[in-house]
Structure 1
Amino acid sequence: MLPTLDWSGGKIGVRLRFEPKDLADLKVQYLAAAKLAAETRAVGSGKSKAIKVKLWPTNLREFLDRKLNSLFTTKCYLLDPGKLFAPVNGIAHPQQLPPGAEPVEGKPLNRLIRINVIGAQRGFGSPATGESDDPEKSRRSERLSEQLKSYYKSHLDPTDYVEPSDIEALEAIEEAQKQYDLRLKAGFGAAMAELQDLNYPGVADPILKIGTKLRPVDGLSHSAAVQYEISPDAGGGTTQSLALPEHYNGLGYQNLISMVFRLMAFRDAWMRVDKASKTVSDTTNDILIPPLHLVLVEEPEAHLHVQVQQVFARKAYNVLRNH
């Protein structure tokens, strides 16, 4: 992205432009689709009834409504810092690209800026609609339990990239699985014996066997994986601590906890904490940590009291800067 080999510091001009990947290919595909629609319409008009259904595409805009993401991309062009003009009365004067300007190969900003997004949280009052192993893509998975599960898979799962600190946990899981298999074998023994007497012709008397596969992350795959504990000294006359399911708490508190944990997950993924650091390949361009990290939060004020809104931005910034 450096403008010249003589560059010794200062401004660098870059323009991002959303444009066709290949203008000639876009033209061919649009004309082919429009021709097919016209031919179908002509054949249909020769019948007793005229075609009433709307055939796609009727124009370029309608064609791009379906094909925009597959035919367009964001390209990066270099600008001349010496031709930078400050806005006059609030009106910008963008620099014109020279004729025949070629875009920079690849996506150079990907290695400079990491961008994460927290979408508007509107689903706390209803069951989770889905999940994603990637916390950055988990926009539908708003419950904290699903976020914890995604974080665990990315950073803590002892079955991935096993380290000495994981051995004890793996041994405990293997022993639990062995004991559970023995219990299942004893419990299903009578039923399996009956099935063994079927003597199905042509099959060499296969023996049915039941085995389990315990995965640590399965312990987070239920509705009560995350609970809020209320201590006895919190008032209300309780003499022992109480644990309430995640969805029993107020929407504002759920939103606050969810956003802060998502920020922590983004930060640790950006810095490649724990297991995430083992997934980097020396053969890729993704070895270095991007120096800029931007997090976009949509409607952070949803369900939050005014007092919480006032401190959220500062707390969120502090969370991103921890470690």
Structure 2
Amino acid sequence: MEDQDGAELCFPQLLNVSCIKPKNSRPDVVLMHSVFFICALTVILNLLIIISVSHFRQLQTPTNLLILSLAVSDFLFGLMALLEVHRQTACWFLGDHVCSLYVYVTSIIFSSSIGNMILISVDRYVAICDPLHYPTRVTVMRVKIIVCICWMCSVVYNAFLLKDVLTQPDLFNSCYGQCVGGADSISQMIDAVLSSIAPITVIIILYMRVFVTAVSQARAMRSHVAAVTLQCSGTVMTKKSELKAARTLGVVVLVFLICYCPYFCFSFVEGFPAIFSVFLLYISPCLNPVIYALFYPWCRKALRLIFSLQILQPGSRETNML
């Protein structure tokens, strides 16, 4: 059924309160199809990373556990993005309660991704800038506890931020067939500082320190004079593997900032294409597993074992991956 202006309604039986079905231009449709493909690829690639780190015991190091946590958030992010494609291009037929739950879960996953990026930056900062105390300060058990705290903080923080949406699911919806999440202006300002400005600032500062220290240590490692001068070069200077991990995870963090910062900045600009902002936001989780595969030999070996189904063999958890 159509209204008097010829526009098709989401709920024809609710003539006065139904939303109008969105009309997507051809570029928007092509872009959203691309987003759908990227989301599906994000789910598959991050699932492979989750299986790799979870299955092989030798890969369960403190740094890799942070990568695992990030892969879990990216995996869930990809799943929710598939629903986001529907929300952006069609009427919302799942009801107000599912809408509020969707907004809440998406916010949790997004906040945990940012939290994981901060934890990765802190991990590399300690590993590069304080290598002597890294093995004692950053242990597997401590990382597990910190990761759990990160996810719990995200759950509690977003419950507080979105309390109005959770208690009144239809508060920000102007008609039936719409799914809009939001918060009051004060909460939005607080969220902008706590979930965007402050984390990005912390990440940039930490990795600037890591970069400066890593460059100086790399020069020292290439210097024969430094090798003779330092009596305990193996303990004073960071291992080459730590420097490589810092470089790899630095690329991951840089890609995240490149994809997230434009989304954050332009989301406050009226008229900025929502579909394009979604494309920017969801491309980063898809690229992370690709970066791991390019820089980490253990990742490529794990993928070969997964695709060849060798992980199904008894004792495969103890395979030498390094």
Higher relative contact order (CA 8 A, sep 6+): 2
Q: TM (normalized to structure 1)?
A: 0.20
More helix, by proportion: 2
